[in-house]
Amino acid sequence: MNKAAKKSVLVFIFIAFTSHLCQGSDMVWTNDDMDNDWHNDWNWINGAGTEPTETDNVWIDNTDAIGGGPVITGDARANIIFLGANGAGSTQLTVAAQGDVTAFELGLSDHPQAVAVYNQYGNASFTSVLNIGVMGEAMVNIYGGTLVSPISLAKAISSKARFNIYDGTVDATAGFTMPADTKCNVVINIEAGNLILSGNVIEDVEFWAANGWLTGYGSPLNICVSYDEQTDRTSVYSVNVYSHGIGADINKDGMVNLEDLAILMEELIL
């Protein structure tokens, strides 16, 4: 391949790689009006003087220092939302019950000293990926509505990822990536909600629970999983069938294991 051809290929690759990052404006959250309103134009530093659109990259950092993070109460659009990417500090983004977010990507804690929290009561859809814990500490709390997105947890060994599904539905059929290293600091806790995955991944779910990555009401013994052949989907949910929790240390030996489950089942049968 001659130099001109090589250069053309490199330029093409660069454009393809940066196409989503470079388009639109960079919108920086300032909360100048101190009302935590995503839809208030005065709360953003940008060239257009408006709230973000589908072509804009959104930067939200250290919101505890500026009165709080944005709350989305209506339709919100963005290209990539960076939550906790530019430095240390705690950052929050909340989607209210009437909120509806559509974006290409949402990334949490792309800085080793950042703590990023995403709260969802409404609906959200991310086309590319929801990255939970890129480098720092990240927490996603789903309180209701529907989240549709490929999901990746704890991309770095140093990151910490917490994914709580208290209610609602998480549709991750487009992709669900857990860490390759079993020592990664990841916990997915499911209570009233459910997680939907593509294919028959029951064995994967069982492995995640055994590794302590997946719990229901705080215990892996509360996790339930089912596979539907017609839809080729696996549903993960939890059932808290015992008053003090199926995952409780019933025999008081300092561990939660199958011995506790056996005692519980004996009590239920009796």
Q: Answer yes or no: are the C-beta atoms of 20 and 107 closer than 8 Å.
A: no
13 pLDDT band, cuts 50/70/90, is: very low
How many CA atoms within 13 Å lie on the side-chain side of 61?
Answer: 15
The pLDDT of residue 270 is above 70: no
Give residue 182's pLDDT band: very low, low, confident or very high (50, 70, 90). confident
Query: Which amino acid, residue 53?
Result: T
Q: Note the pLDDT of residue 19.
A: 43
For the chain, the domain total comes to: 1
Residue 199 lies in a domain: yes
Residue 43 lies in a domain: yes
* Domain-embedded: residue 16: no
DSSP sequence for 230-249: TTTEEEEEE---STT-TTS-
Residue 250 pLDDT exceeds 80: no
Q: In 10 A of CB 229, how many CB atoms?
A: 7
| Among 240, 186, 188, residue whose Cα is nearest residue 217 | 240
Give mean pLDDT, residues 79-102: 97
The whole-model pTM stands at 0.82
φ/ψ of residue 126, rounded to 5: -125, 120
Residue 7 in domain: no
Phi, psi dihedrals of residue 27, rounded to the nearest 5°: -105, 120
Q: Is the CB of residue 152 less than 8 Å from the CB of residue 129? A: yes
Residue 155 has what pLDDT?
Answer: 84
In-domain check, residue 133: yes
The Cα diameter of the chain in Å comes to: 80
Structure tokens at 38: 């995503």
Give the DSSP H or E segment for 6: helix 3-22
Q: Give me the pLDDT at residue 192, please.
A: 93
Give residue 235's Cα distance to chain centre.
17
Confidence of residue 180 (pLDDT cuts 50, 70, 90): confident
> Mean per-residue pLDDT for 48-65?
91
Residue 72 resides in a domain: yes
Residue 243 vs residue 45, higher pLDDT? 45
Query: Does residue 257 lie in a domain region?
Result: no
Q: Please indicate, yes or no, if residue 265 is contained in any of the structural domains.
A: no
Q: Which residues pair with 212 in a beta bridge?
A: none
Domain range enclosing 192: 26-239
Residues 6+ apart with CB under 8 A from 173: 196, 197, 198, 233
The mean per-residue pLDDT over the stretch 2-26 comes to 48
Using CA atoms, how far apart are residues 118 and 106, in angstroms rounded to an integer? Answer: 10
User: Residue 12 pLDDT more than 90?
Assistant: no
